[in-house]
Chains A and B, each alone.
Chain A
Amino acid sequence: DAKTTQPTSMDCAEGRAANLPCNHSTISGNEYVYWYRQIHSQGPQYIIHGLKNNETNEMASLIITEDRKSSTLILPHATLRDTAVYYCIVRSYNNNDMRFGAGTRLTVKP
């Protein structure tokens, strides 16, 4: 009963923008979209989250479609250190069951 669908892997050239897609066609009105990443074997790291408006912080931008059925995480200038597995998760604030799927393995190449 996966709530999100992500590509298994993607490549990106160093210095270019990395655009990671996520489909969440069954998202409910009170569910947020969260993005995390896991570098090598470290604990996952929070990146960004949003409800329906586009969001930007110092790490990334999150673009959510108007119908909220999909979103894209954008790393504007990817570096080698951005090579990681990126997880897209949908959940509501009152749902404490935070589950991670398989994610997208992003490889940034020189």
Chain B
Amino acid sequence: NAGVTQTPKFRILKIGQSMTLQCTQDMNHNYMYWYRQDPGMGLKLIYYSVGAGITDKGEVPNGYNVSRSTTEDFPLRLELAAPSQTSVYFCASSYLTGELFFGEGSRLTVL
């Protein structure tokens, strides 16, 4: 089982560029999440989804967009990248019981 797969693992963006972080899971989980983690800090919830076609904002959604067209995929879109979006991004999925399975993270630097 691959679990939760995130791509890319590393990316450097210029200010104002856009990109999509990909996340896919093969566990048939309904719930998927995107978090960001700044250096030395805890995780902050960006967006989450309870199933295909349904998404909702978390604590820090500004500057990001998501979509959930399939159960497996939950891409995170960054529009007009800013230095404040330099962070490590984690995708996670879960079934109902709340045991989250995390990907390895995507490290994004905006210069």
Binding site for B on A (CB under 8 A): 32, 34, 36, 41-46, 49, 85, 87, 91, 93, 96-103
B42 touches A36 (CB 8 A): no
A100 touches B35 (CB 8 A): yes
A43 touches B104 (CB 8 A): yes
Interface flags for B16-47 (1: CB within 8 Å of A; 0: not) read 00000000000000010101000001111100
B53 within 8 A of A: no
What's the nearest-Cβ distance from chain B to residue A97, in Å?
A: 6
Asked if A41 meets B105 with Cβ closer than 8 Å, knowing A87-B42, A100-B43, A101-B42, the reply is yes
Set of chain B residues within 8 Å of A97, measured between Cβ atoms = 45, 48, 56, 58
B31 touches A96 (CB 8 A): yes
Binding site for A on B (CB under 8 A): 4, 31, 33, 35, 41-45, 48, 50, 56, 58-59, 88, 90, 92, 94, 96-105
Set of chain B residues within 8 Å of A87, measured between Cβ atoms = 42-43
Set of chain B residues within 8 Å of A96, measured between Cβ atoms = 31, 48, 50, 56
Set of chain A residues within 8 Å of B59, measured between Cβ atoms = 99
Asked if A36 meets B100 with Cβ closer than 8 Å, knowing A41-B88, A96-B56, A103-B42, the reply is yes
B103 touches A98 (CB 8 A): no
Task: Point out which of B33, B43, B50, B96 has the most chain A C-beta atoms below 10 A from its C-beta.
Answer: B43
What's the nearest-Cβ distance from chain A to residue B31, in Å?
A: 6
A44 touches B100 (CB 8 A): yes
Can you name the residue of chain A whose Cβ is closest to the Cβ of B49?
A: A96
**Beyond the given A43-B4, A44-B100, A103-B42, could you list 18 further A-B residue pairs with CB under 8 A, ordered by the A residue number?**
A34-B98, A41-B88, A41-B105, A43-B102, A43-B103, A43-B104, A44-B90, A44-B102, A45-B102, A46-B101, A49-B98, A85-B42, A93-B97, A93-B98, A98-B33, A99-B58, A100-B35, A102-B41
In the complex, what distance in Å separates the CA atom of A102 from the CA atom of B38?
11
Can you name the residue of chain A whose Cβ is closest to the Cβ of B91?
A: A43
